[in-house]
Structure 1
Amino acid sequence: MRGFLIITALCAASLTVSAQPKPKKAAPAATSASDGGYHIPVTITPLKNCWVYIGCYYGKFRNLSDSAWLDENSKTVFEGKTKLPGGVYFLVNSQHVILQESDFLMDDKQQFSVSADTLKSGVTITGSEENDIYQQYTNFLAEKTPVLTGLQAELKQAKSKADSTRIQEQLVANNKELNDFRESLITRYPKSMLALFLNAIKTPEPPPAPKLANGRTDSLFPAYYIKNHYWDNVPLHDDRLLRTPFFDGLKLEPYLKYYVRPEADSVIEDVNYILLLSRGGKDMFKYLLGRFTDKYINPEIMGQDKVFIFLFNNYYSKGDTSWLSAKQKEFIFNRAYSLMANQIGEQAAALDLVDTSGKAMPMYALKAPFTFLIFWDPNCGHCKETVPRIDSIYRAKWKAKGVKIYAVNIDEKANDAWKKYVKDNHLNGWYHTYQTKAQRDADVAAGRANYRQLYDVFQTPTMYLLDDQKRIIGKKLTIEQFDEVMSAKKKQP
């Protein structure tokens, strides 16, 4: 199996979890940030004579932003000539472990001091109004979170309906207190960074659902209302949202999971809307483009790779990704070209290969209601598990339905092992083929894409299901799912 979960990092200027700045000793405390930089004296007891760091959140990632030498008095100064991006930051010890509950806000006024004790939770911030507000919130959370956690644990252990009802009521009451406190902070400090963050994580509250023509309440109204207003209070152009621990997990991911329909065209509409809203935020746009690329370049749901093709055609190929290296661009472009040729509903590319005896065996010569196409390798462990299972369902069900199996050995150097495996496992009734070296050389000489690119064959086994017109109707599913697709298609008028 191959993975593509590096794309978000690539599109986020190659930031990674392990990224860290080159260590440097802190400058003298007399230096000021009045020139537009930052100056943050820090005390971390009882640590001394070691490197420490400040880091920030970056969507799903956490990255180190600066380093400084903690002296024998447990003091240091983080400073630089250019201001740090706004967001939620944290302290990190010399072992790259984040200090417990050490979050603080980095606003536009980056001259304040931070004090922490590794034996205790939390930090003390001096000289920052934004962090004074933030401290009110974190202190309230420190009181309320254990209560909510305890009630949730009690609810799981409830032994009667009465107990469940009582605990549920307490949960509702405590959650209301938390929400009311958040609203009070927003009201009292509407221009604060915390207000921005708290407004962003809200879920829209739908009004009472209207009545349908038949007099029933429209049960779908709340979901549609939330979806249509989900991003109302979220300035996606503001990069500070990206540098928080909640944006991706508490805002973006739930939206993609619960409010976006799985059909590729619906996903495209939603992700494009989000990307357009984020265009004013340099880092947010990079992150979101990478995040969506990660999710849809090798999707969990069949056909959603069409979303990646859309991203490629509308963003990557138009030069909107100048921050990527040449190697990174090559990877994206190659993946796009491989996927373009095998989209669901499109005509399958012709395969004019030869069988075990060297005789021409064109795939389009097969006449069948369904053609099952598999690319495999006789030396591939996963293939040795999958191929017999395919043969079993072929003998039990597919053969009687007229299904034809067009199997391609992707390693012509292993032809002897391939032929032996076919014979030993009695893979009768299949159309066993491979591409000769002469055919491959002819493709190269003519500048034609080979079948590996046309069918995105970069792992084995790779499988497709074609209809009677050789259109792709299924790909990269389990054997059982391919069978379900056939059954569903048979039922269609």
Structure 2
Amino acid sequence: MKVIGTLLFIFLFAINANAQYEIKGKIKGLSKSEVYLAHYFGYNQQVIKDTVMANEDGEFEFKGAEVLPKGLYLISFLKSKYIDVVMEDPHFSLSLDTTDILKTITFENSAENTAFYAFQRKMNDLYSRINQPTLSSIARKNLQAEVQQFQQQWKKANATLFVSKLIESSFDPEIPAYRGELRSKADTTKMQMYQYQYYKKHYFDGMDLGDERMVRTPFLQRKLERFFKDLVIQDPDSISRESDLILQKAKDIEVRRYIIYKIASTYENNPILGTEGAFVHLAEKYYIGEPALWDTSTVRRMKERLAIIKPLLVGKSFPKMHLTDIAGKEINMASLPFKYTVVFIYDPECSHCKQEAPKLAALNDYFKSKNVGVVASSIVRDKAAWKKFISEFKINSWINGIDIHLNPQTGKEEYYTDFRNTFDVYSTPVVYVLDQHKKIVGKRIPVENLKDFIQYLETRRK
């Protein structure tokens, strides 16, 4: 019996040891409903790690042999309700009442989450008092000082916890007082520049870019997006320079990979003209230049994407487009005498192209007054569909082209233009704007914005 008892103990211990995570919960107000455990991947993506069914008393348990990556998780229930939990030691329990989650939630065996919710409760209490409309300015100032004091004390008391990093990463940098004179408008401008430069330089101070757990929080993505949207001039050189400075601090592989991906994907097809140059910089330096960060297929795809995008950057000469007109004559775009050329690449059967063509045709008189020509090219090598499109939308005044060429020896049709890879046509229509030297000055400009864009180009030339 003793041997059997010992063997049973070892067996049960082995089963329990295999449970890399074990999270028990009881939610009052929940009954026989699914509960999800997921971690954040930025603020707008969650990766589900486990799903269980709560019993009639709202009790549930997440348990598994998988090692859960550390970070900030959420437990989701009742469709729209969820709680955030810090995942450090994945063996804890919690309870709450759905009528007041923040007030009733408690944890056992989780110093991280106990501190996390104590912070939230205190801050919620302080700000509810600060926001009272009848509060005097002196009382509000005192409460704001109390907020600062509490935050400093809390951070000091919980400095060893990951949750302290989480809270710190959500704060903005505090700007030291400006010590210069403020006697003129120029002095005020200097102070504002000082504040902007300090804020920008120290924006990521509270974010530990060497801690991979930050990838599994909402805060890193929010910081990146706000930084590049509000603090960085939207030109490729500025974006590239600021990206390099951030990545100098991002030593952790996961954090580094995430930052590269987020910035590069933002500027690959960004609506702000010219910013694709930043994507090219990031792709060359951090995808192709650091292949160990990525799998071989990702590096290969990036090389293929660069081969398409790089020749089409603003300022580059427009690649040769092999087209013939209605009479079958070759179109020589380089010899077109226009000050600006709008290149409209379309599919005759594309519904969106049929919507955009009349809008573009409505600009004919304006274009004529500004010496703007339109070259319209069908990507479909179907003469009947092409001619029908031209007739239907009354665009005979444009230079209409198609990639069909008769071989003089064989008399057979030949095709020379790779629209997808040479002109990045992955959907239609695509619009390019060229200057008089046939260099790209605009790309993917919405048709409704073309008039304003031409006016902008005219103003810039003066």
The 3-state SS of whatever aligns with 2:101 is coil
Which structure has more relative contact order (CA 8 Å, sep 6+)? It is 1
Instruction: State, as a whole percentage, how many aligned pairs show the same letter.
Output: 24
Alignment-derived partner of residue 446 in structure 1 = none
Alignment-derived partner of residue 91 in structure 1 = 75
Q: Does 1:292 align with 2:263?
A: yes
Structure-2 separation of matches of 1:205 and 1:86: 29
- Of 355, 369, 375, which aligns to 1:385? 355
Q: 1:59 to 1:458 in 2, by over 3 A?
A: same
Q: 1:345 to 1:208 in 2, by over 3 A?
A: same
Structure-1 separation of matches of 2:142 and 2:236: 40
User: What are the Cα deviations for residues 253-309 of structure 1, in whole angstroms up to 9, with x where unaligned?
Assistant: 221221111111111112233234324142x23332332233112102111122222
Alpha-carbon deviation of 1:366? 1.0
Structure-1 separation of matches of 2:388 and 2:443: 27
Instruction: Report the AA paired with residue 398 of structure 1.
Output: F
Instruction: Report the AA paired with residue 401 of structure 1.
Output: K
- Of 153, 164, 170, which aligns to 1:184? 153
Alignment of 1:386-465 (within 5 A): 386-395=356-365, 397-413=366-382, 415-436=383-404, 443=416, 450-465=418-433
- Of 142, 167, 177, which aligns to 1:198? 167
Structure-2 separation of matches of 1:418 and 1:170: 74
Alignment-derived partner of residue 239 in structure 2 = 267
Q: 1:442 to 1:139 in 2, by over 3 A?
A: same
Alignment-derived partner of residue 50 in structure 2 = 66
Alignment-derived partner of residue 278 in structure 1 = 250
- Decide whether the 8 Å contact of 2:357 with 2:393 is kept in 1: no
Structure-1 separation of matches of 2:285 and 2:308: 17
Alpha-carbon deviation of 1:183? 2.2
- Decide whether the 8 Å contact of 1:238 with 1:281 is kept in 2: no
Alignment-derived partner of residue 40 in structure 2 = 57
Alignment-derived partner of residue 106 in structure 1 = 87
Instruction: Report the AA paired with residue 454 of structure 1.
Output: T
Alignment of 1:303-322 (within 5 A): 303-318=274-289, 320=291
Q: How many residues align?
A: 439
- Decide whether the 8 Å contact of 2:253 with 2:293 is kept in 1: no
- Of 218, 224, 229, which aligns to 2:197? 224
Structure 1: which 5+ runs fail to align? 1-26, 155-162, 444-448
Q: 1:172 to 1:452 in 2, by over 3 A?
A: farther
Alignment-derived partner of residue 13 in structure 1 = none
Instruction: Report the AA paired with residue 345 of structure 2.
Output: F
Higher deviation after alignment, 384-393 or 476-485:
476-485
User: What are the Cα deviations for residues 180-234 of structure 1, in whole angstroms up to 9, with x where unaligned?
Assistant: 4222211222222222122222212222333599872313111111001111232
Structure-1 separation of matches of 2:215 and 2:392: 57
Alpha-carbon deviation of 1:246? 3.4
Alignment-derived partner of residue 255 in structure 1 = 227
- Decide whether the 8 Å contact of 1:405 with 1:431 is kept in 2: yes
Alpha-carbon deviation of 1:473? 0.7
Alignment-derived partner of residue 112 in structure 2 = 130
**TM-score using structure 2 length:** 0.82
Higher deviation after alignment, 82-91 or 184-193:
82-91
Structure-2 separation of matches of 1:172 and 1:256: 32
Q: 1:29 to 1:246 in 2, by over 3 A?
A: farther
User: What are the Cα deviations for residues 33-53 of structure 1, in whole angstroms up to 9, with x where unaligned?
Assistant: 6x8943333334565666533
- Of 438, 458, 461, which aligns to 1:490? 458
Structure-2 separation of matches of 1:28 and 1:49: 28
Alpha-carbon deviation of 1:128? 2.1
Q: Does 1:140 align with 2:122?
A: yes
- Decide whether the 8 Å contact of 1:49 with 1:71 is kept in 2: yes
- Of 434, 438, 454, which aligns to 1:470? 438
The 3-state SS of whatever aligns with 1:463 is strand
Alignment-derived partner of residue 7 in structure 2 = none
Structure-1 separation of matches of 2:327 and 2:145: 75
Q: 1:169 to 1:420 in 2, by over 3 A?
A: farther
Q: 1:49 to 1:480 in 2, by over 3 A?
A: closer
Structure 2: which 5+ runs fail to align? 1-10, 408-412
Structure-1 separation of matches of 2:67 and 2:414: 56
Structure-2 separation of matches of 1:342 and 1:98: 45
Instruction: Report the AA paired with residue 377 of structure 1.
Output: D
Instruction: Report the AA paired with residue 76 of structure 2.
Output: V
Structure-1 separation of matches of 2:376 and 2:126: 61
- Decide whether the 8 Å contact of 2:106 with 2:114 is kept in 1: no
Flag the structure with larger Rg. Answer: 2
The 3-state SS of whatever aligns with 2:455 is helix
- Decide whether the 8 Å contact of 1:31 with 1:39 is kept in 2: no
The 3-state SS of whatever aligns with 2:323 is strand
Q: 1:421 to 1:292 in 2, by over 3 A?
A: same
Higher deviation after alignment, 309-318 or 427-436:
309-318
Alpha-carbon deviation of 1:355? 0.4
The 3-state SS of whatever aligns with 2:331 is strand
The 3-state SS of whatever aligns with 1:352 is coil
The 3-state SS of whatever aligns with 2:362 is helix
Structure-2 separation of matches of 1:334 and 1:475: 20
The 3-state SS of whatever aligns with 1:114 is strand
Structure-1 separation of matches of 2:148 and 2:110: 25
Q: Does 1:350 align with 2:320?
A: yes
- Decide whether the 8 Å contact of 2:340 with 2:373 is kept in 1: yes
Structure-2 separation of matches of 1:207 and 1:119: 42
- Decide whether the 8 Å contact of 1:114 with 1:126 is kept in 2: yes
Higher deviation after alignment, 74-83 or 398-407:
74-83
The 3-state SS of whatever aligns with 1:354 is coil
- Decide whether the 8 Å contact of 1:378 with 1:418 is kept in 2: yes
- Of 2, 9, 22, which aligns to 1:39? 22
Instruction: Report the AA paired with residue 292 of structure 1.
Output: I
RMSD over equivalenced CA pairs, Å: 3.5
